[in-house]
């Protein structure tokens, strides 16, 4: 697999609503912060999206669930931090900060690449 597609060249919070990643293969992904918040990969949010299923079952391949269950309208990122070399963590304006968004995951949820055949199944995103 081409690792350039899961390694960012630049990461940028554009304004209070948008976050942009330019990847090493020169693809640009632009995300609504509310979209990223709704897809938070932490166990708590996975549980919410998946109708309160047992946390252990979230490690199986059941997809990302219903993102409308996370109320994220108007959410802002208070802070964004790098986690090692593989992920970023957002500190959201609702106080939530447990989600670690690894770059593979971020690439797989890129709004402009949703229908790409080789995108990874987002089933194992829950941490
Ligand atoms: Zn979360």
User: Helix, strand, coil proportions of the chain in percent (round to 5)?
Assistant: 25, 25, 45
The CA angle 92-72-52, to the nearest 5 degrees, is: 100
| Cβ(99)–Cβ(41) below 8 Å | yes
Structure confidence at residue 44 (pLDDT):
87
Give the distance (Å) from ligand 1 centre to CA of residue 82: 17
Distance, CA of 122 to CA of 62 (rounded, Å): 9
Which CATH number belongs to the domain containing residue 39 in this structure?
A: 3.30.2020.30
Tell me the pTM. 0.82
Query: 9 φ, ψ to 5°?
Result: -90, -50
Total of domains in the chain: 1
Structure confidence at residue 3 (pLDDT):
85
Give the distance (Å) from ligand 1 centre to CA of residue 100: 9
Distance, CA of 41 to CA of 5 (rounded, Å): 20
Give the distance (Å) from ligand 1 centre to CA of residue 73: 15
Give the distance (Å) from ligand 1 centre to CA of residue 40: 5
Reported in sequence order, the residue ranges of the chain that DSSP labels E, i.e. its strands, are 8-13, 18-23, 28-32, 77-83, 87-92, 100-102
SS3 7: coil
Give the distance (Å) from ligand 1 centre to CA of residue 7: 23
pLDDT, averaged per 10 consecutive residues of the chain (127 residues), comes to 87 93 96 95 87 63 77 93 95 95 93 60 50
Q: Which domain holds residue 117?
A: 3-124
Give the distance (Å) from ligand 1 centre to CA of residue 46: 7
Structure confidence at residue 117 (pLDDT):
47
DSSP annotation of 106: H
Give the distance (Å) from ligand 1 centre to CA of residue 54: 15
Give the distance (Å) from ligand 1 centre to CA of residue 127: 9
């Amino acid at each position: 697999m081409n690792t350039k597609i899961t390694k960012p060249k630049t990461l940028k919070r554009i304004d209070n609503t948008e976050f942009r990643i330019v990847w090493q293969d020169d693809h640009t992904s632009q995300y609504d912060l509310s979209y990223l918040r709704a897809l938070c990969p932490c166990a708590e949010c996975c549980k919410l999206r998946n109708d309160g299923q047992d946390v252990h079952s979230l490690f199986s391949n059941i997809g990302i669930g219903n993102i409308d269950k996370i109320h994220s309208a108007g959410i802002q990122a208070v802070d964004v931090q790098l986690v090692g070399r593989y992920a970023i963590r957002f500190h959201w304006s609702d106080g939530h900060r447990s989600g670690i968004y690894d770059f593979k995951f971020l690439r797989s949820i890129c709004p402009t690449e949703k229908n790409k055949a080789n995108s990874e199944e987002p089933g194992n995103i829950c941490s």
